[in-house]
Amino acid sequence: MAIAMDVGSRVMRMTDERLITALRQSAAVAPHAGLQPVVDDTSALVLVPDERTHRYDETRTRQLRGARVDRSGQFSFWWTPPGDGMGGILNESEVTEAFTTYLRLVSAIGVDEGRRYAVAAGVTGSMISVVDGHLGSQSRSGASLGP
């Protein structure tokens, strides 16, 4: 998401604390999660360690993996989609919920002074399925990959 502004170096160096506070207050990460900030004059980045402790046959929920804001005001969030042992699962309601959550985080961080916004998304990975439906509480045991 791009915001038309220039964040000063002093503000940028304090932005990691804003990111961490916003992530914790929004419940995007667990209160006890050890977050790893990386800050310089051009950007603030917070990495979220992988806390997947599920078994291969259990489902997992969406997990935030990182957040970044740079001097131009561009925010980036990346996360793993919900899934199971057969890969990640995306559906319309999950994507909508994820975008809503992370757009609210932009506002909570408090450096969004701009008036122009652009939202972009990308999906990478060979083990992702786009489905019409949702992931239940039980892991899949098979999947159809053809018509």
Write down the mean pLDDT value for the chain: 74
Q: What is the pLDDT of residues 15-70, one digit of tens each?
A: 778 888 888 888 888 888 888 888 887 888 898 887 666 676 777 888 888 888 88
| Of the candidates 13, 1, 8, the residue with the CA atom closest to the CA atom of residue 37 | 13
Q: pLDDT at position 89, please?
A: 76
Q: Are 73 and 82 in contact (CB under 8 A)?
A: no
Q: pLDDT at position 2, please?
A: 40
Q: How confident is the model at residue 1 (pLDDT cuts 50, 70, 90)?
A: very low
Each domain of the chain, given as residue ranges in start order, spans: 9-130
**pTM for this predicted structure:** 0.69
Q: Are 16 and 36 in contact (CB under 8 A)?
A: no
pLDDT at 145 over 70: no
**Rounded-to-integer distance, Cα 78 and Cα 66, Å:** 6
How much helix, strand and coil, in percent to the nearest 5, is found in the chain?
25, 25, 50
| Strand pairing class (128-130; 36-39) | unpaired
pLDDT at 140 over 70: no
